[in-house]
């Protein structure tokens, strides 16, 4: 399975702190994506990183990809209470259909 596994499963921080989530996967991929899901809602695409890329930025988000270690990290800087959500990594192989990991639940306390 190409399913990613996020770590930690839950993360609780104070507003203003940085939040780092990690994703590990088992087989080769074409790309890896991060999605956010607010409680009981649909998923919002955050960022996509391709297998030949090592780092991408989008606003307060920074994603890294290490294909040799089959792992990725999502860093949210200067977190806000509104960042409270579940974050999923999704890996895609030849079909380009993402397979989602189990997610990290982030709580940012105001």
Contact status: 43 vs another protein (CB under 8 A): yes
Q: Which of 17, 26, 44, 81 binds another protein (CB under 8 A)?
A: 44
Nearest to 7 by CA among 27, 24, 30: 24
Query: Does 40 contact another protein by CB under 8 A?
Result: yes
Please select the residue that binds another protein; options are 41, 54, 57, 109, rule is CB under 8 A: 41
Report the C-alpha gap between 43 and 73 in whole angstroms.
18
Long-range contacts of 47-56, Cβ-Cβ distance < 8 Å, separation of 24 or more: 47/74
CA 104 to centroid of chain Cα atoms: 8
Q: What's the closest the beta carbon of residue 75 comes to another protein, in angstroms?
A: 20
Positions touching another protein (CB under 8 A) are 3, 30-31, 33, 35, 40-45, 48, 88, 92, 95-103, 105
């Amino acid at each position: 399975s190409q399913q990613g596994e996020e770590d930690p499963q839950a993360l609780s921080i104070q507003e203003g702190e940085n939040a780092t989530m990690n994703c590990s996967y088992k087989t080769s991929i074409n790309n890896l994506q991060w999605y956010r899901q607010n409680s009981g809602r649909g998923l919002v695409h955050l960022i996509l990183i391709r297998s030949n890329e090592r780092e991408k930025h989008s606003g307060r988000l920074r994603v890294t990809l290490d294909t040799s270690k089959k792992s990725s990290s999502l860093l949210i800087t200067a977190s806000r209470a509104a960042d409270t959500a579940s974050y999923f990594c999704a890996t895609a192989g030849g079909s380009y259909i993402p397979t989602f990991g189990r997610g990290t639940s982030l709580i940012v306390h105001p």
